[in-house]
Structure 1
Amino acid sequence: MTDDRAGARERIAERIVGREHELELVLTAEWGVPFVFVEGNADLTPARLVGHHNPAMVLKQDYGAETFVDGPLVEAMREGAFLYIEEFNRAPEDTLNTLLTAMADRRIAVPRVGVVQAADGFRVVASMNPFDNVGTTRLATSVADRFNRIVIDYQDEEAERAITALRSGIEAGRLVEDAVAVTRATREHEAVRQGSSVRGAIDTALVVHELRALRGIGDGDEEAYRAAVLDGMLVALSGRIHLDDAAEATPEQVLREIWEDRFLLEPARAEPG
């Protein structure tokens, strides 16, 4: 790695907590390639991905290459950029299939325009949500076979504490530790199909921090602090957890159980210091 690349990696790493391994893999695969962004969702039709003819120009001079407005796929192919698709598996299946020819043959035929040949450097990079999330589709084998895959799981507890402190602006300490602990517990509860990300810990810490100020809760008022944490959890986490279809509990009941485990059944873990 050259000095320039090492310096850039350090600058990027300054804004990311953890993920050193994943950062290295992504930089290795994509170094020096221009970037085109598109969000994967139900509105990403093949026409939106490839491009369209400008109606006003068509009326003036009929269809032709000059009337065509490049979509993100064609733009990335012409520039030799990588096309980054956010939440790839939320896009419609026919849109994903549109990528096959571009990825396999590095060219695509555009009606009334001709064949667009990909410049050197063109590639597709995508992020995906876990399968079976609401709104996601399973990738066809023909699509999945054209991707290398990096699996990104939750970060460890220490990294999530650092993220929560950084993003909330709250000094690392007991509140941050409690917010991260209860958030991580949502991912392990038997009634929860999908727990909260670290965003839940950030918001829990922020809500509890404000409640402590509004209620005048001092450092030694343990009962009031614990009550504020429960209220903060209900506000920040109840909409972020998704229960198993067979679960009989509500999100609020699950969160109260997690709170009780943290503050009542194992009080030593929750005591200051």
Structure 2
Amino acid sequence: MTQASSVGPASRGGPTEVIQRAAEAELLEAALLSGAHVLLEGPPGTGKSTLLRRVASARHIPFVMVEGNAELTPSRLIGHFDPALVLSKGYVPEIFEDGPLLEALRTGGLLYVEELNRIPEETLNVLLTAMSELEINVPRLGRVAAAAGFALVAAMNPFDAVGTARVSGALYDRTCRISMDYQSAEAEQAIVDLRTDGLDPQWRAKVVELVRSTREHEDIRFGSSVRGAIDVARLAVELARMRSTPTDDWHVGLAAARVSLSGRIRLQDACDRTPEQVITDLYVDVFGAEPVAPEDHSDSDPEGSPGEP
């Protein structure tokens, strides 16, 4: 189901602190102040939505978010007349239920469309009209003009080819593009620290190193975002508590890494191994080989000599 939410000037949905994105924030705010629409391109977990929430909150303007997918039809985007009330009142404006696009147009807010390259072409055409004309004509409702401040900000992962469509040149022609790549290791450690509590800094750094290594391994087509590092850390804390072991226990970390990262990576088509096997190899590279358990001599005869039968 398509999800849309209006979060208003005060954003919600988690921390809005932007780590190492000052340049992108400046460009985004300048583009919006100039009246431009913006396309944020980058892999998942690079802070696209967090960046926009921060800018919208700083400017105290409405913020309407909609999830882009195949179910985002024009009627879901624009809105519709309440069928039950149409029977008794007819097509009158007061029974029209605004969709996210009309809500952003009327309030002069930011319409944020996630996963732009997953929406149907007919829905994209509606967005193009609103971007170009700053208004939209709705059958039986009439013309809805954009209030001052309206802008569309879309985000997409240009490297994901599964379930996506090619974005037309018409969209690029109507937007300013801001490319967002992964942040530095130090920034990602700060992000993990922001969303976890009481972790050993050295262990946390290794978790981030593990996640970053998934983006460079020859068997992996797409690696994990920093969200994977956050989940590894959080899961390890809870698993260690359940097992009554330290958080940095080697086996706890491996279990947390396999669960948190195996679904986030995409292997090369020619790879004949499982994601869990690849994650295990990367884990050993970062955290070292499995510790050897000390030998148990409790059953040996302490009084016997080596030469006795």
When normalised by structure 2's length, the TM-score is 0.74
Please name the residue that 1:137 is paired with.
165
Shift of 1:227: 3.0
In 2: Cα distance, 1:152 partner to 1:173 partner: 26
Shift of 1:234: 1.0
Q: Quick check: 1:200–1:240 contact (8 Å CA) kept in 2?
A: yes
Give the alignment of 1:72-151 within 5 angstroms.
72-151=100-179
| Alignment CA distance shift 1:69-1:217 (3 Å) | closer
Greater helix fraction, Structure 1 or Structure 2: 1
Amino acid of the structure 2 residue aligned with 1:142: A
Please name the residue that 2:304 is paired with.
none
201-210 or 146-155: bigger deviation: 201-210
Q: Secondary structure at the match of 1:202?
A: helix
Please name the residue that 1:29 is paired with.
31
In 2: Cα distance, 1:69 partner to 1:214 partner: 49
Per-residue Cα deviation, 1:236-268 (whole angstroms, up to 9, x for no partner):
111111111221121011112212322348xxx
Amino acid of the structure 1 residue aligned with 2:121: E
The count of residues paired between Structure 1 and Structure 2 equals 251
| Alignment CA distance shift 1:174-1:60 (3 Å) | same
In 1: Cα distance, 2:157 partner to 2:16 partner: 25
Give the alignment of 1:1-273 within 5 angstroms.
15-30=17-32, 31=59, 33-217=61-245, 225-264=249-288
When normalised by structure 1's length, the TM-score is 0.83
Q: Quick check: 1:162–1:172 contact (8 Å CA) kept in 2?
A: no
Shift of 1:177: 1.2
163-172 or 249-258: bigger deviation: 163-172
In 2: Cα distance, 1:86 partner to 1:245 partner: 27
Whose radius of gyration is greater, 1 or 2?
2
Please name the residue that 2:49 is paired with.
none
In 2: Cα distance, 1:15 partner to 1:175 partner: 23
Where relative contact order (Cα < 8 A, 6+ residues apart) is larger, the structure is: 2
Per-residue Cα deviation, 1:172-207 (whole angstroms, up to 9, x for no partner):
412201111111101111111111111111121223
Q: Secondary structure at the match of 2:286?
A: helix
Q: Quick check: 2:206–2:287 contact (8 Å CA) kept in 1?
A: no
Q: Quick check: 2:110–2:151 contact (8 Å CA) kept in 1?
A: yes
In 2: Cα distance, 1:158 partner to 1:127 partner: 25
In 1: Cα distance, 2:75 partner to 2:16 partner: 38
In 2: Cα distance, 1:102 partner to 1:214 partner: 53
Please name the residue that 1:269 is paired with.
none
In 2: Cα distance, 1:263 partner to 1:64 partner: 66
Q: Quick check: 1:87–1:127 contact (8 Å CA) kept in 2?
A: yes
Q: Secondary structure at the match of 1:127?
A: strand
| Alignment CA distance shift 1:71-1:217 (3 Å) | closer
Any unmatched runs of 5+ in structure 2? 1-9, 33-58, 290-309
In 2: Cα distance, 1:100 partner to 1:40 partner: 15
